[in-house]
Amino acid sequence: MSMASTLTIVRNPIFLTSHYQFNKHFTTPSSLRLLTFAKMEGSEISEELGEDLRAERKIFVAGATGSTGKRIVEQLLAKGFSVKAGVRDLDKARSTLSSANPSLQIVKADVTEGPDKLAEAIGDDSEAVICATGFRPGWDLLAPWKVDNFGTVNLVEACRKRNVNRFILISSILVNGASMGQLLNPAYIFLNVFGLTLVAKLQAENYIRKSGINYTIIRPGGLRNDPPTGNVVMEPEDTLYEGSISRDQVAEVAVEALAYPEASYKVVEIVSRPDAAKRLYHDLFGSIRQR
């Protein structure tokens, strides 16, 4: 039986993935190529590739226009992530965030409106959620509970609806100050003046920990808007009762938590100190043993 000198094989489209790493532990967005068909001529095989498709890891950020949230968005975009910014005020977001960036999508998302609307905002293309929400101080003493407690719970339930199993929360040191013997700590007293804010945050943390979702709870010290002046110090939960940290570093810790499995199912407390040694995040997260 004779065989044709030229044989063309048509295959079902498949994806070929090439990876680029921004560090040795984490793979950033991949460039995907659609293999349309392979052509065989004698013993030579040549591949004709279709249009390159860019598949990016999309992260949903709640509270994206806040002082810490916008820094998280900026750092995610700088790392090559695609970001879905959940905000209450779309006009403010367009003037605050890099709305011209094609990797940024701005969507309406109010954590107080319940999990169904949040699930719609998160969509089926987000693989992780970072919660950087916070109530605005005022005369409504229920505001901390509406945002920092029930709002966070709504966000976790929205993740359940969308099968999102990675959740990072920006909380605060001293949330468990009563158990730490810090009831008379001026910071604990001040932060609880507006509707028991720290108590509301602690209740939300407890809900997350019982939910089964893969979480990292980040408890920063006093938040500063100025650039970092020291290195990050990371301790286990209920350890730190004083200290401060730049919001830029808080955002960095949140983004790095996505990269390391050592950050999973942990509560970490962070401040910065000028005399602290600079450590890799792999080591920082790995040094924390969850209680």
Are 132 and 162 in the same domain?
A: yes
Comparing 224 with 39, which gets the higher pLDDT?
A: 224
Average pLDDT over every residue of 101-114: 96
The CA-based angle 253-169-123, given to 5 degrees, is: 110
Nearest to 135 by CA among 192, 207, 208, 216: 192
Are 154 and 26 in the same domain?
A: no
- pLDDT single digits (tens) 38-93: 333 333 333 332 333 334 579 999 999 999 999 999 999 999 999 999 999 999 99
Q: What value does the mean pLDDT of the chain take?
A: 84
Q: In the β-sheet with 104-108, what is the strand arrangement from edge to edge?
A: 104-108, 82-87, 58-62, 128-131, 166-170, 214-220, 266-273, 231-236
Q: Report the distance separating Cα 79 and Cα 61, nearest Å.
A: 15
**pLDDT at residue 44 in the model:** 38
Q: Which two tokens stand for residue 37?
A: 């068909």
291 in any annotated domain: no
Are 17 and 113 in the same domain?
A: no
Residue type, 258: L
Phi-psi region of 69 (alpha: psi -120 to 50; beta: other; left: phi over 0): alpha
Are 231 and 119 in the same domain?
A: yes
CB 169 within 8 A of CB 204: yes
**Domain count of the chain?**
2
- pLDDT single digits (tens) 177-197: 999 999 999 999 998 988 899
Are 169 and 45 in the same domain?
A: no
Helices 186-193 and 197-211, packing angle to 10 deg: 90
**pLDDT at residue 45 in the model:** 32
Are 157 and 140 in the same domain?
A: yes
Q: 132 lies in which domain range?
A: 58-286
Query: In this structure, what CATH number is given to the domain that contains residue 134?
Result: 3.40.50.720
Give residue 135's pLDDT band: very low, low, confident or very high (50, 70, 90).
confident
Are 70 and 104 in the same domain?
A: yes
- The percent of residues in the chain predicted with pLDDT above 70, rounded, is 80
Are 114 and 18 in the same domain?
A: no
DSSP string, the chain: ----SEEEE----EEEEE--EEETTEE-PEEEEEEEEEEEETTEEEEEEEEEEEE--EEEEETTTSTTHHHHHHHHHHTT-EEEEEES-HHHHHHHS-TT-TTEEEEE--GGG-HHHHHHHH-SS--EEEE---PPPSS-TTHHIIIIIHHHHHHHHHHHHHT--EEEEE--TTTTTTTTT-TT-HHHHHHHHTT-HHHHHHHHHHHHHHH--EEEEEEE-EEESSPP-SEEEEEETT---S-EEEHHHHHHHHHHHTT-GGGTTEEEEEEEETTSPP--HHHHHHT----
Are 174 and 251 in the same domain?
A: yes
Q: Report the distance separating Cα 161 and Cα 56, nearest Å.
A: 22
The yes-or-no verdict on residue 6 having pLDDT over 80 is no
Give residue 233's pLDDT band: very low, low, confident or very high (50, 70, 90).
very high
- pLDDT single digits (tens) 148-160: 999 999 999 999 9
